[in-house]
Amino acid sequence: MKKIGIINVTSYSGLELLRLIKNHPEVSVTQVTGRSLAGKNLNEVFPSINNNLIIQDEIKESVDLIFSCLPHKASAEVIGKYINNGVKTIDLSADFRLPLELYESTYESKHPYPSLISEFTYGLPELNREQIKSSQFISNPGCFPTCGTIPLLPFIGKGIENIIIDAKTGISGAGRSNKIEHNFSEISDNFSAYSLNGHRHEPEIENNLNFKLHLTTHLAPMIRGIFSTIYFQSKSEINIEKYSDYFLSHPFVNILDKSPNVKDVRGTNNCNIYIQKLNNKFGSNSYRLVSVIDNLTKGASGQAIQNMNLMFDFEETLGLNNMALYP
């Protein structure tokens, strides 16, 4: 049984890791940390977890792998010492997803450990499965980049253009913050766009695909989920059947014959996709993709466990075959 440590377990992604790992037959969470709740019992703070671990201020004993659920910059500052000691690490922040110059311009801060960036593999299994298997350190993708990148993977190097991603997310994507705009009375019965001057996940998607594109993000009145509508034009007609065939070796990607719903993937590690050719208003080869994921599962913790499975040479789907939480 592999021993797992979770840094900042009190975040939504940390709690989602606990929920998913509880049913994993090959690993066990033995240590957890929390920035403000050190010394408390997990059951005391989160009764739904049913776990008696004590929240610590740091990982103090040997573990086989660490998940870091800290925000960007804070994560790199904390996990540097574990990386230097050779502990397998999966970082759920943005700290090791981008080349140094792009990271510092996007996140407007100096990187705490620039020399370590090259040690990390970008943890999108649908893009880098074989590299992940042999890696010690994984940068887990962002939620919007996961939902936006996967549907476009078959078109890398195929000459598509005019790409627009229109994405909506649930409030859990903002984390456990206490900002006024995240209060129930502000979110309920409301819908708004944000980061219109450039969302931080846009460069990440462009870096994955080597495409230029526009990303518009919206906050929807739901807790979990991302719903992305992607428009693009192709220089040649796309064979939809061959598009589906591209994903046959990817166990969590499902190509549907109708538009997916967010609730179809809630609590799962699935990415459900629908592709449609549009009429000729803007040219003969205009297309629309609809993609949905759970931002906390495939967009964060579920994908992190998928990466862990690959790193330990477990079955890729181990612990992740749960049904959607519906309704």
- pTM as predicted: 0.97
Q: Do domains 2-141+299-311 and 144-294 have the same CATH topology?
A: no
- Per DSSP (E only), the strands in 2-43 are 2-7, 27-33
As its CATH architecture, domain 144-294 has 2-Layer Sandwich (3.30)
For position 159, what pLDDT does the model report? 87
Just list the catalytic residues: 143
pLDDT, one tens digit for every residue, the chain (327 residues) = 999 999 999 999 999 999 999 999 999 999 999 988 999 999 999 998 888 999 999 999 999 999 999 999 999 999 998 998 999 999 999 999 999 999 999 999 999 999 999 999 999 999 999 999 999 999 999 999 999 999 999 999 998 999 999 999 999 998 887 788 888 888 899 999 999 999 999 999 999 999 999 999 999 999 999 999 999 999 999 999 999 999 999 999 999 999 999 999 999 999 999 999 999 888 889 999 999 999 999 999 999 999 999 999 999 999 999 999 988
Which superfamily is assigned to 2-141+299-311 in CATH?
A: NAD(P)-binding Rossmann-like Domain (3.40.50.720)
Residue ranges per domain, the chain?
2-141+299-311, 144-294
Q: How far apart are the C-alpha atoms of 204 and 198, rounded to whole Å?
A: 12
Cβ proximity of 285 and 237 under 8 Å = yes
Nearest one of 64, 80, 1 to 31, comparing CA atoms:
64
Cβ proximity of 152 and 211 under 8 Å = yes
Full strand arrangement of the beta sheet holding 55-56: 55-56, 27-33, 2-7, 65-68, 88-91, 137-139, 120-122
Nearest one of 252, 244, 254 to 310, comparing CA atoms:
252
